[in-house]
Structure formats: C-alpha cells, structure tokens
Structure 1
Amino acid sequence: MPEAVLADLARPIWTSLTTRHAALAEGGPSALRYRPETSLFAATPDDEPEQLSALAALAAPGEEMLVLREAEAPLPADLTLLSGASVVQMLAEDAVPIVEDARIERLGAMDAAEMLALAEATKPGPFTLRSQDLGPFWGIRSEGRLVAMAGTRMAIPGATELSGLCTRPDMQGRGLGQLMLRFVAGRISSRGERVFLHVFASNTRAIALYETLGFRRTRQFEVLRLRRE
C-alpha cells in the first residue's frame, strides 16, 4: 500500500474534494464542502480555529454539514453539534476479484427515489437523491422492488470508497449484502485502485464480516452533524 494513500485516508473528505471530486466542491483553501444537494460532507485541511471558522462560513444559517474528525477540536460559536457517532475506516488489504451475477443491474437517475427510500429504511449512512453524482451504484431487484444496493462515494488518488451498502430487512440473510460488496469492490479493484469503506463502530457484525473478506481497520473517526446558526 503506497504511504500516500494511507496519508490521504486520514482526511478522506478533504482529499476527495481537492482531487477527484474537485468539480463537486464549494469553498476555498481553508474549507470545502460538496454541493448540499449531492452530499452534506464538508472538510478542512486540519482543525485550526481559522479553518473551522471558514467551514462555518460555507453554510447559510440553518444549513447542516457532516464532518469526520479523529481528535476533538473546539467548534466555532456559530456551529451547533446536533449529533455524533463513531465510525471505523477499513481498507481492503488486497485486490478483490471480479464477481458477476445476472441479477445485478446498474442504477440510474430514474432509480434515485427508490434508492433513497431503501437507504432511509436501512440507514447505511448519509444518502441523498443526488448520491449518484459521487459515483456509480448497482442494485438487485426482487418482484420489481429494489432490495439491495451498493456503490461508490469518496474518491482519492489510488483508492475509492465503497458506500451505500444495504439490503431490505425482509431480504437479509440471503447473502445479497455480501454479493453487492464483492461486486462493487471487484470493480474498484479492476481499475487498479484500493477499496476502503466506513462503517458505524456499533455495527460489530458488519465489521466482523468485512474482516473475513480481507478488510483491516485503519482508523476511527467521529462523524459529526453540525448546523450553522
């Protein structure tokens, strides 16, 4: 694993917004965010007070943002912490083989509302109607319903994040989630890139599964939902 990839993964949102997702970024050298309709993620190059103030200035009063951080840092007075949760970052140690399955289809703009409904029902993490702006998604349908999906999100030089992995509760236990993970990870690996992901630290079952599939923990973040006052 190139050391540069590991270093970039310490601030994956910032690296994405300054490299492969620069066209989706708003802000300046001290703070950047995705366009709000695409994603609520925002970041700074470090946690210096002036950069956190620039982060707050990106949002209009009442707007929300999501940030990742490893260490605590005082927030500006005009940013209110609404909630926080621990997430584990994991990285595939090796390339993931390509997997094919005739049930898997590429999802598109016409599927956005159904994708959002599935994400809201299963809570894999932040998701919007425009999440496909960040990268492609694939899914499986059963009796006309979207029952499982996964796609890509953050993109840094040499690595892409697997994200949005979820399965309808009544279809769990059939291996669909693992299939979707292998399918998307295989496509990332086929481009010569490393695969990484983020999972809530409380989801110990998923973490154990990812470890059996060759992912290792790299670091732990707090994901904070902030509101500009």
Structure 2
Amino acid sequence: MSHILDRPIWSALQTRHASLAQGDALALRYPPTVSLFAATGDDRAESLDALRALASPGETLLVVQSSEALVPAGMKAVSRASLVQMMAVEPLPEIADPRLELLGPGDAQAMLDLATLTKPGPFTLGAQSFGSFWGIRQGGRLVAMAGERLKQPGYTELSGVCTHPDVRGQGLGRLMSLYVAGKISARGDRVYLHSYSTNTAAITLYGSIGFKLRSDMHVTALALV
C-alpha cells in the first residue's frame, strides 16, 4: 500500500503547496524560481508524457520517489542517486536559543550562498516559498540555517540544514535540526527529511535526535533529449 510520502513532491503539490503548482492532473512541478522538483502521480505513459511537457530546453527536472523514476519518451536521465527518507519517531520539543533568528526575503542571497558552499541539496533564491527558514549569524555573516520544504497534510519536511565550514564542530547543524523540528512538531505535523544514502554523518546525526528510516528513496534528474 502506498504512503503519502512515497511521492512527496506530488503529494505536496496536490495539497499544501497547490498554490505553487504548475501542470495538470497528470504531472506537476514547482515554478523554476522556487525549485526544479517535478512529479507524476503514477507511471502511466500519459503521465510521463505530461511530465515531459513541463520541461524547458536546457532545464533539469528533479523527481524524488520511493521507486526509481521511469524516463519519459523524449527525455534522458542525467543522474540518479539513492536517498533515505527519515521520520521523527516522536514529536520533538520546541527549544529556545537567542542566536537563532527567522530569516526573511532580504536574506535570500546569503542563504543561497551558504547552500551553494555546503550543498545540502537543491536550493534557489526562491526557497522561502516552501516555508520558514531560520539561521545563525556570526560577525554579521550567515553561518548556519535550516528550514521547511515539502508539506503534506500532517507532515512537513525539515530541509536546507547547512553549516559553514568555518564553524563546523560547534554543534550548529544539530541545533538547527532540533530547532526547526521542534517548530514543526509544535504545529502538530510529523517531521521528516531526506538525506543522500552515502551521507552517513548526516544519517547518524538525525538518528541521534530521534529520526528513523521510513523508506529508501530515489532522486532522478531528467532533461529533454
């Protein structure tokens, strides 16, 4: 039996992110200024054709789901990678720390710069369209952040967790994860996240704060031939 998070992009765009959705009943995507995430609700040929129709020349669409994505006719798989999807076993408590601040539109470039440097996953200047992000500054410079990404009824994804190399080893990644997860839990949502299967350090960190494996996942980058 399928789970709402087996195709998390599809379920988000069908529900809590419907205002961001571009496409039709067969395939949906986020605006390219927000994300290159796209999805279908199933693997029927007509759904895959609709997915291809959402792609622009020179653009790469990213599909995340529990099964390996099929490649639509007229497209190619540029890359594939394995992910794990982890979920907090219990609601996480809200924590307070005076160093953390809610980030706003004026922080978009600093957020993108930090994400580009640390590569937590796909990130754009429009990432705040997904949800709220929080960060820590040192000397006026953004050095750590985390926030919300995909949202479904009863679920919110913790994402964008990154720490500048200059401040690693201070526990800021753990702090950011706990802080944002606590905010999500306080709303009554279950917290989940994705990590590359090869990122054992991140998986160990998330396991230590109460996350367990829910499903193996796959991310596929698709482009027009």
TM tier relative to shorter chain: over 0.9
User: What's 1:202 paired with?
Assistant: 198
User: What's 2:58 paired with?
Assistant: 62
The one of 127, 139, 142 equivalent to 1:143 is 139
Equivalent AA in structure 1 for residue 3 of structure 2: A
- 1:77 matched to 2:69? The reply is no
- What's the CA shift for 1:69? 3.0
TM-score with structure 1 setting the length = 0.95
- What's the CA shift for 1:166? 0.3
- Aligned residue runs from structure 1 range 20-31, under 5 A: 20-31=16-27
SS in 2 for 1:8: coil
Count of matched residue positions in the alignment of Structure 1 and Structure 2:
225
Does the 8 Å CA contact 2:21/2:31 hold for their aligned counterparts?
Answer: yes
Residue-by-residue CA offset, 1:24-80 (whole Å, 9 max, x unaligned): 000001000001110100000111222111100112222221001333454123212
TM-score with structure 2 setting the length = 0.97
User: What's 1:43 paired with?
Assistant: 39
C-alpha distance in 2 between matches for 1:11 and 1:74? 13
The one of 6, 9, 12 equivalent to 2:8 is 12
Equivalent AA in structure 2 for residue 36 of structure 1: P
Q: Measured at CA, do residues 148 and 73 of structure 1 come closer, stay the same or move farther in structure 2, by a change above 3 Å?
A: closer
Task: Extract unaligned runs of 5+ from structure 2.
Answer: none
User: What's 1:221 paired with?
Assistant: 217
Q: Measured at CA, do residues 22 and 167 of structure 1 come closer, stay the same or move farther in structure 2, by a change above 3 Å?
A: same
Residue-by-residue CA offset, 1:166-204 (whole Å, 9 max, x unaligned): 000111110101000010000000001100000111101
User: What's 1:111 paired with?
Assistant: 107
Identity of aligned residues (%): 55
- What's the CA shift for 1:13? 0.6
Task: Extract unaligned runs of 5+ from structure 1.
Answer: none
C-alpha distance in 1 between matches for 2:208 and 2:33? 35
C-alpha distance in 2 between matches for 1:22 and 1:96? 27
Further displaced range: 129-138 or 54-63: 54-63
SS in 1 for 2:3: helix
Q: Measured at CA, do residues 52 and 107 of structure 1 come closer, stay the same or move farther in structure 2, by a change above 3 Å?
A: same
Further displaced range: 25-34 or 73-82: 73-82
CA RMSD of aligned residues (A): 1.3
C-alpha distance in 1 between matches for 2:203 and 2:118? 16
- Aligned residue runs from structure 1 range 128-139, under 5 A: 128-139=124-135
